[in-house]
Amino acid sequence: MILPFLSEGEHADPDDFPPVHRALTEPNGLLAVGGDLTLSRMICAYKRGIFPWFGAGDPVLWWSPDPRTVLTPTGFHLSRSLAKWRRQQRYRISVNEAFADVVAGCAAPRSDQDGTWIVPDMFKLFIELHQAGHGYSIEIWDGTQLVGGLFGAKFGRAAFGESMFSRVPNASKLALAAILIDQSWGEVDFLDCQFTTTHLLSLGAEEWSRSLFIHRLNRSMTPQDDI
């Protein structure tokens, strides 16, 4: 199957994505190539259940995997040790105090990775998303030191978790609890985690079919009075 190339340039339509059911099964969810990395295209992608993911030097790749991995407020597994950490309140938790620093923390080199998908163009785009009111960050502080965090986007009650990092044990889990349990940046129906990992499953993640994910996404972007 030949992947469609998205339009680029001044007159490009930011919403010219193919239907998500046309995504490949191998690699799982690869839908389209190319297109401008603009704020308007990124917003259109989120609302269709699509996200960009590519490495440095690669073309822009757009994805919509099946199944889709999510965390829900009722399904999130709050272990006894994590609950104890939360009660101790050793770390301060904030929202949107240091968005760029959290993205930088997530983009920093890690021993278990060859590189980062948060290339400079993606970093810039996330900053624009935050400035537009859709990007959020959860910060974990030890005094004045940022020791962990999570960032992503939110539309209605649908939250998207792009990346998280920890410099101390449990910091990223505390950030997840903040957005899922404490609802620290407004009401959340689910947190999109994109692909499945053993770590996410240990936290109570669920695998939704693509069709179910799109259905729930559309419901979560609809005002509750209209449901």
pLDDT at 115: 63
Task: Tell whether the model's pLDDT for residue 195 goes beyond 80.
Answer: yes
Give the pLDDT mean for 4-23: 91
Domain boundaries, the chain: 5-66, 69-226
pLDDT of residue 224: 64
> Can you tell me whether residue 146 is helix, strand or coil?
strand
Contact predicate 158/185, CB 8 Å: no
CA 59 to chain centre: 20
Say what the pLDDT of residue 136 is: 96
End-to-end CA distance of the chain: 38
| Long-range contact set of residues 23-27: C-beta below 8 Å, sequence gap at least 24 | 23/63, 23/64, 23/65, 23/66, 23/210, 25/66
Q: How long is the chain? A: 227
Helix (H, G, I), strand (E, B) or coil at 178: helix
C-alpha count within 13 angstroms, C-beta hemisphere, residue 91: 27
Which residue shows structure tokens 């980062």? 116
Q: Which two tokens stand for residue 152?
A: 């992503």
60-118: per-residue pLDDT in tens? 999 999 999 999 999 999 888 888 878 888 899 999 999 999 999 999 976 555 668 99
Contact 55, 86 (CB under 8 A): no
- Looking at residue 227, its pLDDT comes to 44
Instruction: Give the pLDDT confidence of 144-161 residue by residue, as tens digits.
Output: 999 999 999 999 999 999
* CATH architecture label of 69-226: 3-Layer(aba) Sandwich (3.40)
> b/e string for 163-189 if b means 16 or more Cβ within 10 A?
bbbbeeebbbbbbbbbbbeeebbeebb
Single pTM value for the model:
0.93
CATH architecture classification, 5-66 = 2-Layer Sandwich (3.30)
Cα–Cα distance for residue pair 99/105, rounded to 1 Å: 10
Rg (CA), the chain: 17
Q: Which residue has the tokens 């030949």?
A: 2
